[in-house]
């Protein structure tokens, strides 16, 4: 679903480039397709506001029905918080102090904190034992019964939660799909036989090289450097 305050949408870039993946951002006013293999709730700049927005669109019913039918659901950062039972912002981090009921697909609850966690990470996915890279940037602490089944392990500790049926997962990791090995294993788990031959970092390097070449052709770099020298 296309949340109104979606953040870190580059989390989806590797999936967008996968030749065997048909990625759709569901716009407001549309239902989430019933034949989806997986529903991913992205990060958001304001979890409580986007939780309200999601419910206004009726997406909560779509997501819950999908999960109860055994469909896969993934929540990233704010999306992870939305999957839980409750979100409390008693310090007014995102606005006036409030608390709200989440989707209840994970037995966890989140408390918004006044301090922000920002760090890069390397680790592994505990569900498929594949390496992951990425970063965290959030202002919440999530705890509850389903955090006894963690999704990610890094040098900083373990993160995320998995429901008892193991079809709903959430974590605070942005960049989760950047890891080729993790992404390939995850896609194959979703649909047996799904192959991935994408080397995501290579595509990023090629794109940056092409951009640098275009800028060099379009701009007089020597003149710009000379102007900067005497400005």
Per-residue pLDDT tens over the stretch 23-81: 999 999 999 999 999 999 999 999 999 999 999 999 999 999 999 999 999 999 999 99
pLDDT value for 195: 78
User: Distance between CA 71 and CA 65 in Å, rounded?
Assistant: 9
Any long-range contacts for 28-31 (C-beta under 8 Å, 24+ apart)? 28/2, 28/4, 28/53, 28/57, 29/57, 31/58, 31/59, 31/62
Q: What is the pLDDT of residues 73-101, one digit of tens each?
A: 999 999 999 999 999 999 999 999 999 99
More confident residue, 107 or 217: 107
pLDDT class for 194, splitting at 50, 70, 90? Answer: confident
The residues annotated as belonging to the active site are 77, 174
Whether 215 shows a pLDDT value over 70: the answer reads: no
């Amino acid at each position: 679903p296309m949340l109104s305050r979606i953040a870190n949408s580059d989390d989806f870039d590797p999936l967008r480039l996968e030749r065997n993946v048909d990625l759709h951002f569901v716009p407001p006013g549309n239902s989430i397709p019933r034949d989806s293999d997986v529903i991913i709730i992205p990060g958001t700049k304001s979890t409580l506001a986007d939780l309200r927005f999601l419910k206004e669109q009726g997406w909560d019913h779509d997501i819950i029905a999908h999960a109860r039918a055994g469909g896969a659901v993934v929540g990233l950062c704010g999306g992870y918080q939305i999957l839980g039972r409750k979100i409390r912002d008693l310090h007014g981090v995102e606005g006036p102090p409030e608390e709200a009921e989440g989707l209840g697909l994970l037995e966890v609850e989140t408390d918004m904190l006044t301090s922000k966690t920002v760090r890069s990470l390397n680790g592994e996915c505990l569900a498929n034992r594949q390496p992951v890279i990425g970063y965290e940037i959030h202002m919440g602490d999530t705890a509850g019964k389903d955090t006894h089944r963690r999704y990610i392990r890094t040098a900083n500790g373990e993160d995320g939660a998995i429901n008892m049926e193991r079809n709903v997962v959430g974590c605070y990791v942005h960049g989760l799909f950047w890891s080729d090995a993790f992404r390939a294993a995850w896609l194959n788990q979703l649909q047996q036989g799904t192959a991935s031959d994408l080397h995501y970092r290579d595509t990023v390097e090629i794109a940056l090289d092409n951009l640098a070449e275009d800028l060099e052709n379009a701009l007089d770099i020597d003149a710009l450097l000379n102007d900067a020298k005497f400005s």
